[in-house]
Each structure stands twice: as C-alpha cells, then as structure tokens.
Structure 1
C-alpha cells in the first residue's frame, strides 16, 4: 500500500491516475484531535460480508496527525469485518453547545503478534492493570489511516461537507 499526501501530477500538468490501493493522507484538525482525546471511546462502524452494519465502541488514541489507533481486545465482529474489509468509519461530537461533530472514514491495518501490537498491549495494560489482569491473550493493534473527514455539525451550511 502506498501512502501519499496529495494526488500526483502527470508530466503534462494534468491530474495523475490514483491507484485504488493508494491512500491519500488527510491531516486530522486540532479540534478533532482534542475531541478524540476527550472522548477516549468512540463509535466505530464496519460492514459485514452480507452488508450488515456493525458499530462498536473503541478506546482510541491519536498516534500522529494522520493515524488513529485502538486495541482489539475481544476479536469479535468488528475484528472479523476488518479482516475481510479493512475500511471503517468513526464519529465524534462536542457534547456541549455550540455542537460540532465529525465523521472520519479510513482504512485499517491490523497488527497481531508483532512489536507494534506488543507495545500497544503493554501500554494499555499499564494504564488498566486491574481491568486487564485476567486477560491472557495479547490484543491486536488496529491502525486507522484517515482518508476522509466530514463535518457533521447540525447546521445547514456545514453538515455533510468534506473538510479533509
């Protein structure tokens, strides 16, 4: 998979062809980073093989301005859906007036039994020693690369506009 910041240009100056496996990186705005940090757990939507939607709460961390990470603890429906179709969507909103809201779409890479997963597992267990004490399995690290950000603020001017 190739990660680009912008669509490439042809030598003639026209817009270049963007292969479907290319991920155009989108920078997460500071206000959205703040909301994700405050919320900690956000609804993450995936799609099953039959088209059936699935939404589950995931405890997220912003790793860098283009990447959101969560630990997959239970390897349930979200995990199965992402193994088949590595695309997800999450939503977060400001809980006080004036409300702002965002929908974030992207692709995921699941790290299992590697150094990345081990570091996340260690970090999460250190922060929740009692809650995860009984778990024997290591978690997987789900790296969500942001591809699109939409304004979902309940406002006629803003709602549904792509902002990233």
Structure 2
C-alpha cells in the first residue's frame, strides 16, 4: 500500500465515522414534541399572604389559551378567566417550553428559603422550582439555565396577574 493510498483510506474512514455521528447529533438536539396540555400552580412573588396562579394551557388544535385564576389557595379556582394567545405569544410559549425541556448542564438554581414555589406538569414531565419573593429580582432568575422559571414567568405575565405586590382575590 502506498503512502497516498493509506492517506486516502484514513481520510475515507474518518469521513465515514463522522457521518455516522450526524444522525445521532441531530436527534439529540431535536426539540421534544410539545405537550398537549400544561398545568401549573405558581405561588406569586410579592408581599402579603400567599397567592397562587392556578392555570391550564391547552396546546391542542384549537386556539391556544391560558385558563385559570389567581387564588389564595393552591390549585383552587372559584371562577376562571381565559386568555387567548396570539401568534407572538404562541411562538414565545414554544420557545419557553423548549428551553424548559432542554437538558442543560447548569449549576443548581439559586433560591432562598421562603421563595414562592411552582409546579408545572405536562403528560410526560414536570418541573418544580422557585421564583424570588421580590418581583424586581425575577429577571435575574430567568434565562438559558432557568428554562422552567422562564416558562413559569411567561404564564404569570401572559395571564396578566394584577399587582404582584398587593394581595388580590380571585381573578
């Protein structure tokens, strides 16, 4: 075998090995399918007695919407409101879901004792976390390494929660 044919053989082997990894890389980076439904109970930041955003998001065939309430009880609604999501909201929601689904290698999220907690569930997974008690600090706990926090905060913002500093009744 000549030196040139050995080099060519080695190059072909390297290319074949590299190509065999591309499908695995592509599938590992492909986003998970969107859940059909999201349920969330989010204790709201702010002073005063605890308040909870209790919502469901239907991602089915019809128009996407957030339905639920703000209540003094976790998971309880005496009456609900429905917020329709426009195209921009839908794109942002998909982005936040994919960020939450991503398996990022990040340090554990920072939280303090007494921070309001949340639980977000889908048919296939759930996320639990905490938002800061002070609403002004929320942006510091969002981002690439805090996908579930970003999803929780999106739901709070889009639902249009009244003042995050004063206690409210049902929404």
* More strand per residue: 1
Structure 1 length as normaliser, TM-score?
A: 0.24
By percentage of residues, which structure has more helix?
Answer: 2
- Which one has more relative contact order, counting CA pairs under 8 Å at least 6 apart? 2
| Greater Rg by CA | 2
